[in-house]
């Protein structure tokens, strides 16, 4: 059954369906050395760790039964897609996870590798690779417990292909975490005009409003590609305090947690008990 799955899904992935947008790559190339300056261009991403790391950590903790004291994510294999300089990979590594960080921009990977090299614990737990997502699909089928794609989907060329690839490298019932920006009038005014042009919270030209993704569309794409969306939470950046918080409305930034359907559920048999089991467990996960 598994080999059949591989065969049927492999076909659409010719090189023309790349998820990497070369224009986007160039933008990030220029800032490759700025990742680790906590007060520099990437300050808002640094402070985003204060909500995205607990979100990932608590969701995974509530779903697992073996919690290692002092090492909450121990034994979990995470893929950080679009890892940049490793801003999110490092905290996840410190919490015990084995992290693979991929990014198409080589300079980003170089920066990330150098930064982790000073900490022997992180150097072992994190592996970086300069690569796009689809390039690793073949050798990483159903390898990861968790995929994290934070502030990435608004930069990809083909979102549906991206999601399909995520599904392929994720183990059944694995988790996918996405943070991104909604496509609304408000996100244009605040996310582009204010954030980029006026306040300089984000380097100018980083985002293109056209590529922002409304949560409804993201949910639709996820659900139609074998994922079950468990949580959608709005996020808000306070430029005065430089800190992020959660909010009800998803009209600006938002985070999504989705779970890949288990192998049994995919075969459309009457195997409903495992699915409802997942639903029940994950219903509490979203409240973390």
Kindly state whether residue 2 participates in binding another protein, applying the rule CB under 8 A.
no
Candidates 37-45, 138-146, 201-209, 252-260 — which segment interacts with another protein by CB under 8 A?
Answer: 37-45
CA distance 145 to 5: 19
Kindly state whether residue 136 participates in binding another protein, applying the rule CB under 8 A.
no
Most distant CA pair in the chain: distance in Å? 56
In this structure, are residues 112 and 84 in contact, taking their beta carbons and an 8 Å threshold? Answer: yes
Dihedral sign computed on CA atoms, order 44, 61, 174, 79: positive
Which alpha helices (DSSP H) does 75-172 contain, by range? 89-94, 106-117, 120-125, 133-137, 159-169
Q: How do beta strands 144-150 and 77-81 pair? A: parallel
Kindly state whether residue 77 participates in binding another protein, applying the rule CB under 8 A.
no
Kindly state whether residue 238 participates in binding another protein, applying the rule CB under 8 A.
no
Kindly state whether residue 70 participates in binding another protein, applying the rule CB under 8 A.
yes
Residues in 116-135 at the binding interface with another protein, rule: CB under 8 A: 117-120, 123, 127-128
For another protein, give the closer residue by CB, 116 or 183. 116
Angular region, 77: left φ>0, alpha ψ -120 to 50, beta rest: beta
* CB of residue 67 to another protein, shortest distance in Å: 11
Residues in 163-182 at the binding interface with another protein, rule: CB under 8 A: none
Kindly state whether residue 40 participates in binding another protein, applying the rule CB under 8 A.
yes
DSSP state of 180: E
* CB of residue 56 to another protein, shortest distance in Å: 10
Residues in 95-114 at the binding interface with another protein, rule: CB under 8 A: 95-96, 110, 113-114
Kindly state whether residue 37 participates in binding another protein, applying the rule CB under 8 A.
yes
Integer CA distances (angstroms), 60 to 3, 91, 147, 159, 185, in order: 29, 15, 12, 25, 33
CA distance 45 to 61: 23
For another protein, give the closer residue by CB, 184 or 243. 243
Kindly state whether residue 62 participates in binding another protein, applying the rule CB under 8 A.
no
Candidates 7-15, 52-60, 170-178, 190-198 — which segment interacts with another protein by CB under 8 A?
Answer: 52-60
Candidates 14-22, 91-99, 137-145, 279-287 — which segment interacts with another protein by CB under 8 A?
Answer: 91-99
Calculate ∠ Cα 104-92-111, nearest 5°: 40
Number of residues that bind another protein (CB under 8 A): 34
Contacts of 1 (CB under 8 A, 6+ apart): 263, 267
SS3 67: coil
For another protein, give the closer residue by CB, 64 or 184. 64
Give residues in contact with another protein (CB under 8 A): 33, 35-38, 40, 47, 49-50, 53-54, 57, 69-72, 90-96, 110, 113-115, 117-120, 123, 127-128
């Amino acid at each position: 059954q598994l080999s059949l799955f591989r065969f049927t899904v492999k076909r659409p992935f010719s090189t023309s369906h790349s998820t990497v947008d070369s224009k986007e790559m160039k933008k990030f190339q220029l800032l490759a050395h700025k990742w680790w300056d906590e007060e520099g261009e990437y300050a808002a991403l640094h402070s985003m760790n204060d909500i995205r790391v607990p979100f990932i950590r608590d969701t995974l903790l509530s779903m697992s039964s073996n919690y290692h004291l002092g090492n909450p994510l121990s034994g979990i294999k995470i893929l950080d897609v679009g890892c940049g300089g490793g801003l999110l990979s490092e905290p996840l590594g410190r919490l015990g996870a084995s992290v693979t960080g991929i990014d198409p921009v080589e300079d980003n990977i170089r920066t990330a590798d150098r930064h982790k090299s000073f900490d022997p614990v992180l150097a072992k737990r994190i592996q970086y690779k300069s690569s796009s997502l689809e390039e690793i699909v073949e050798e990483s089928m159903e390898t990861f417990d968790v995929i994290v794609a934070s502030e990435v989907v608004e930069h990809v060329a083909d979102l549906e292909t991206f999601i399909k690839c995520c599904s392929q490298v994720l183990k059944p019932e694995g988790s996918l975490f996405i943070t991104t920006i909604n496509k609304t009038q408000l996100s244009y005014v605040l996310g582009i005009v204010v954030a980029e042009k006026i306040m300089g919270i984000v380097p100018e030209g980083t985002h293109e409003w056209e590529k922002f993704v409304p949560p409804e569309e993201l949910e639709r794409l996820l659900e139609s590609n074998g994922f079950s969306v468990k949580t959608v939470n709005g996020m808000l950046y306070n430029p005065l305090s430089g800190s992020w918080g959660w909010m009800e409305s998803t009209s600006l930034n938002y985070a999504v947690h989705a779970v890949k359907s288990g192998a049994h559920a995919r075969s459309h048999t009457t195997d409903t008990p495992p699915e409802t089991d997942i639903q029940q467990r994950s219903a509490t996960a979203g409240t973390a």
